Amino acid sequence: MTMTNYEIIQKLAKKHNAEKEEFIRLLTSADEADFELLGRLARKLTLKIYGNKIFIRGLIEISSYCKNDCLYCGIRRSNKNAVRYRLDKEQILQCCNKGYKLGFRTFVMQGGEDKFFTDDYLCDVIKEIKKRYPDCAVTLSLGERGEESFKRLYAAGADRYLLRHETADNEHYKKLHPQSMSLANRKKCLFDLKKIGYQTGAGFMVGSPYQTAQTLCEDLLFLKELNPQMCGIGPFIPHHDTPFADKSKGSTRLTLMLLSIVRLLLPNVLLPATTALATAQANGHKEGVLHGANVIMPNLSPLEHRKDYSLYDNKISTGDEAAESVEHLKKSMKSVGYEVVTDRGDYKS
């Protein structure tokens, strides 16, 4: 007997799992009542585990150089119009100093896959950050590196690593990435990171070209298998200098629905209301939090470079998305019953 959407959602909330066909049914036929129920149950679960705390991470975009040529990304190697820059050690430390004073206790170093940032260079920067700010966590989001590289960075003091898998369907992966990249290697990196001891983050785009309910289902099943401590989900937004310039952006409603599903699937996960969601929808942060998110990552990068780290069109770095506006963000979250805290915001196992 086929389960109703209501029954599937209740099963997901109680057992934190569902069958493949149940996920597909939910993704293809959820109505407004289902959408609201998912949000309500996700919010209730987040409050039970983490309370009404919203953890903030200071995002430092250290390089717009990338050796890869992903078809959706504005800083892809073959984009001749991209503005390239690199932050040096002192600039990164200045961002951390500014962030610490604003109340950030996690710094996220994000960038393209840039060979300039060797293990030696990064280990030196990480050690200095940990020396100056021993009560802070360091998160890296620097793409695929070898297992030995991951081990060195972890030994230097890195606590977390974000590496979005983007899609867990192999054929779909090939349509979004150049032949030099493989889903198998991306997954290996993620499992290596978990094995080493990082708090590990995966994630995917919603509404990327050629995505289907089936491929989204594969994402959910993979997340359940990986059981990451963090998961970043945001709508696909095209960039005008990529092969996907004329593709439609992803649905924010579906993004919010998937945030709720992932919260119910992985109850303890640290789940950001992403910059892409806030770019695609006014009050995106608030809506994300009301659908199960509990992390926001304001931008700490130097003001003169924020527009240059252009992964997709119209990426916002002002308002609640700017680290300087943390007081405004606190008021925004308070208006929906949440509290921005000065906390590392570690995963609760």
Pair type for strands 53-56 and 295-296:
parallel
What tokens appear for 11 in the block? 């099963």
Sheet containing strand 106-111, edge to edge, reads 58-63, 106-111, 137-141, 160-162, 199-206, 230-235
The 10s digit of each residue's pLDDT in 84-103 is 999 999 999 999 999 999 99
In this structure, the dihedral spanned by the alpha carbons of residues 44, 49, 192 and 211, taken in order and rounded to 10 degrees, is: 10
Collapsing DSSP to helix, strand or coil, 62 comes out as strand
In this structure, the dihedral spanned by the alpha carbons of residues 233, 236, 241 and 242, taken in order and rounded to 10 degrees, is: 90
Place of tokens 């840039």: 114
Angle at 189 between CA 203 and CA 310, to 5 degrees: 50
- Give, as one character, the DSSP assignment of residue 167: -
Residue 319's pLDDT is what? 60
User: In 3D, which of 12, 43, 37 has the Cα closest to residue 286?
Assistant: 43
Helix axes 147-156, 119-132, angle to 10 degrees: 20
pLDDT one digit per residue (tens) for the chain, 349 residues: 789 999 999 999 999 999 999 999 999 999 999 999 999 999 999 999 999 999 999 999 999 999 999 999 999 999 999 999 999 999 999 999 999 999 999 999 999 999 999 999 999 999 999 999 999 999 999 999 999 999 999 999 999 999 999 999 999 999 999 999 999 999 999 999 999 999 999 999 999 999 999 999 999 999 999 999 999 999 999 999 999 999 999 999 999 999 999 999 999 999 999 999 999 998 999 999 999 999 999 999 988 888 888 887 777 665 656 767 889 999 999 999 999 999 999 999 8
Helix axes 252-265, 20-29, angle to 10 degrees: 150
Helix axes 5-15, 20-29, angle to 10 degrees: 130
User: In 3D, which of 349, 344, 260 has the Cα closest to residue 57?
Assistant: 344
The 10s digit of each residue's pLDDT in 302-340 is 888 888 888 877 776 656 567 678 899 999 999 999 999
Contact indicator for 60, 297 with CB cutoff of 8 Å: no
Helix axes 252-265, 5-15, angle to 10 degrees: 40
